[in-house]
């Protein structure tokens, strides 16, 4: 049996802007995981996950092709990851085999509601790592990330890949996204192996960050899962805004992210103000697009943290899910947590997942 796990993630700054090629974001991998267990099978494969109900998904190989066929075909990240690996495996001349996958998750609550910690990215990352070992493909982490992103954008074309980078490399990172539409076109024309090394990756990057030891992180969950893809599709078409149009938002977001990265490097105490700036940018974007990025619960979460001396903002697309608060390590957090609980906000006990492996050139 092969067992692989991948961590969830939190966006710290740069949401929405990062979906534009070359735009940066800061993320942190967290110590909640999706685990994929792979065992070889014969003649038919199974995918078991609580998300698919009690009965497993059953898949077979389409005669005369490398396509994977399900009895019921959902728009599914696991299937896309399998199909991507199978396409690469065939291009490399590796013989096909059958296998079963068993998937378990710590990224949702007991009732199955997602915490907004990037479960789709984590399961894609873990599935590709397991299949890489199963087929002895010998991919490095950067190659696995690329394969994961190429699989993901077949399901969600606007996905930035930041969550995949956090799940793949761990720790705190600065991430810049590639031109995903160009990558999809290159794969369609030239194949997957070529798409993993093509020039369309130019501008993509992952840089490790070391936040100051003087900072601590709190995460609250509002209990309202949100659709990242739906929210992103709404704000990418700018609405009428009296203050700043969308292109100014992306420029301001880049400046905010770069200032936050410098504050980490210099440990100059300005990180909290940059987190507040990031929140204001999201508020402005929500107002411009008519989207509720900062819901009432997220606003309450952030305002409570601010009242007691922390800096807070929605993490990710907003619309529900999580908020993140940063403060100095000497700030007592009991009052924040008590007020969060009183307002129905659940603290998620999360710590950064440590960095893993090297980052090869893109």
- Does the pLDDT value for residue 62 go beyond 50? yes
Residue 184 near residue 154, CB atoms below 8 Å:
yes
What's the pLDDT score for residue 244? 46
Q: What is the mean pLDDT of residues 43-69?
A: 76
Using alpha carbons, select from 213, 179, 211 the residue that is nearest to residue 195. 179
**Across all residues in the chain, what is the average pLDDT?**
89
Residue 61's pLDDT is 79
Comparing 213-217, 304-308, 320-324, which segment has the lowest mean pLDDT?
320-324
Q: What's CA 26's distance to the chain center, in Å?
A: 11
Chain centroid, CA 108 distance in Å: 15
Half-sphere exposure of 18 (CA within 13 A, CB side): 30
Domain boundaries, the chain: 2-208, 211-347
Considering the four listed CATH numbers 2.60.40.1930, 3.30.230.10, 3.40.1390.30, 3.40.50.300, the one that applies to the domain covering 2-208 is 3.30.230.10
Residues 6+ apart with CB under 8 A from 297: 222, 223, 224, 320, 343, 344, 345
On the CB side of 358, how many CA atoms lie within 13 Å of its CA?
5
Greatest C-alpha distance within the chain:
64
Residue 58 banded pLDDT, cuts 50, 70, 90: confident
Query: Is the pLDDT reported for residue 104 higher than 60?
Result: yes
> Which two three-digit tokens encode residue 156?
């969600």
**CATH code, 211-347:** 3.30.70.890
Cβ-contact 209, 174 below 8 angstroms = yes
Q: What secondary structure does DSSP assign to 42-93, as a single string? A: SS-EEEE-GGG-SSPEEEEEPTTSS-EEESS----HHHHHHHHHHHHHHHTT
How many CA atoms does the CB half-sphere of 303 hold within 13 Å? 8
Which whole number is the average pLDDT over 259-282? 95
In angstroms, rounded to a whole number, what is the distance separating the alpha carbons of residues 184 and 5? 27
β-sheet bridge partners, residue 58: 46
d(Cα 76, Cα 167) in Å, to the nearest integer? 18
Q: Is the pLDDT of residue 113 over 50?
A: yes
The answer to whether 38 and 128 have CB atoms below 8 angstroms apart is no
What's the pLDDT tens digit per position in 339-357? 999 999 999 999 999 998 8
pLDDT of 21: 94
Binned at pLDDT 50, 70 and 90, residue 358 comes out as confident
Residue 3 pLDDT:
97
Helix (H) / strand (E) element for 245: namely none
Rounded to 10°, the helix 228-235/271-289 angle is 70
Q: pLDDT band at residue 233, thresholds of 50, 70 and 90?
A: low
In angstroms, the CA 56 to CA 45 distance is 10
Q: Do domains 2-208 and 211-347 have the same CATH topology?
A: no
Residue 336: how many other CB atoms lie within 10 Å: 25
Give CA separation, 207 vs 23, 77, 174, 217, in Å. Answer: 13, 26, 5, 20
Which tokens in the block code for residue 184? 């999809």
Lowest-confidence pick of 51-65, 142-156, 265-279: 51-65
């Amino acid at each position: 049996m092969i067992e692989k796990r991948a961590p969830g993630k939190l966006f710290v700054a740069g949401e929405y802007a990062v979906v534009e090629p070359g735009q940066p974001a800061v993320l942190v991998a967290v110590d909640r995981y999706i685990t994929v267990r792979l065992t070889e099978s014969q003649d038919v494969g199974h995918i078991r996950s609580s998300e698919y109900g009690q009965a497993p998904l059953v898949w077979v190989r389409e005669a005369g092709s490398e396509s994977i066929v399900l009895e019921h075909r959902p728009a599914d990240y696991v299937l896309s990851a399998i199909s991507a690996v199978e396409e690469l495996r065939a291009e490399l001349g590796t013989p096909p085999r059958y296998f079963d996958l068993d998937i378990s998750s710590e990224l949702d609550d007991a009732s199955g509601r997602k915490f907004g910690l990037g479960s789709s990215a984590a399961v894609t990352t873990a599935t590709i790592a397991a299949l890489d070992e199963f087929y002895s493909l010998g991919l490095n982490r950067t190659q696995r990330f690329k394969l994961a992103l190429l699989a993901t954008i077949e399901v969600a074309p606007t996905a930035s890949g930041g969550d995949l980078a956090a799940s793949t490399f761990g720790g705190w990172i600065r991430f810049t996204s590639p031109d995903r539409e160009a990558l999809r076109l290159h794969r369609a024309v030239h194949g997957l192996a070529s798409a993993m090394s093509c020039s369309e990756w130019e501008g993509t990057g992952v840089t490790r960050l070391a936040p100051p030891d003087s900072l601590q992180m709190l995460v609250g969950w509002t209990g309202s899962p949100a659709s990242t893809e739906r929210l992103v599709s709404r704000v990418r078409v700018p609405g009428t805004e009296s203050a700043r149009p969308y292109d100014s938002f992306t420029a301001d977001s880049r400046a905010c992210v770069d200032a936050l990265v410098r504050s980490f490097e210099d440990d100059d105490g300005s990180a909290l103000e940059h987190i507040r700036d990031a929140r204001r940018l999201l508020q402005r974007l929500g107002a411009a697009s008519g989207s509720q990025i900062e819901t009432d619960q997220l606003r309450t979460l952030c305002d409570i943290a601010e009242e007691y001396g922390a800096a807070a903002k929605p993490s990710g697309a907003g619309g529900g899910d999580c908020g993140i608060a940063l403060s100095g390590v000497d700030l007592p957090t009991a009052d924040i947590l008590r007020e969060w609980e009183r307002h129905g906000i659940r603290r998620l006990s999360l710590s950064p997942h440590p960095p893993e492996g090297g980052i090869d050139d893109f």
